[in-house]
Amino acid sequence: MKHAAKSLSYRDPNTELRALYMDLLRNQSHFDEFHHLLALYHPSEVNEIGEETDRAREVRCRLNDRIREWLAMDVEGLTCCQVLQWRAIVVEDRFGTNRPSVRKSVF
């Protein structure tokens, strides 16, 4: 019964992403490792329909394992698209495009 309840438990992806976001805000070492693993995940190793090379899948699995350890939660983990989205913003920030063009507030 417990096992069934666990397998049917509702996962709120937004809650998991928010938990990851807060953890990265508060922990420099987690943020550094997150940045490093994102940088290892090359966009050229993922096609338009989300099929990854073995190497890319290994990097993503390692990333998701670390996220579960940091959050001490059995989270769903990041999909290929989510990893690429994080990478584009956090790793590939050439002109400061991680900031909106015009901000209303410093924060």
Partner 1 sequence: MFDVDSVYRDFCDDLPEAVRQTARTLAFRLEIAPEGVAWSRAFPYEFTLAAPRLVADGIRFLPSEAVRAALLAHILAVVEATALTRLASGRISMTPELCKVLGYVRMARDGVWVAVEASMPEACFDFAFDRFEQALAIERYILEGLQPADFALYDRLSVAKQSVMLPASSMIVLQAGWPPDKRQSLRQLLTAVACGLQVFEDVVDWEDNHVRQGAWPFVLYTALASEAEAYGTRATGSERARVLDSGVLAVLLQRAHQHFAKARRLAGSLGLCCLERWTSAQAVALRDLCQAESEYAGYAVRATALRVWAEEVLT
Which 63-92 residues touch partner 1, going by CB under 8 A?
85-86, 89-90
Residue 59 and residue 2 in contact, taking contact as beta carbons nearer than 8 Å: no
Which 87-106 residues touch partner 1, going by CB under 8 A?
89-90, 93-106
Letters for 2-41 (x = contact with partner 1 by CB under 8 A, - = none) are: ------------x--xx--x--xxxxx--x----------
Query: Smallest distance from the beta carbon of 34 to partner 1, in angstroms?
Result: 10
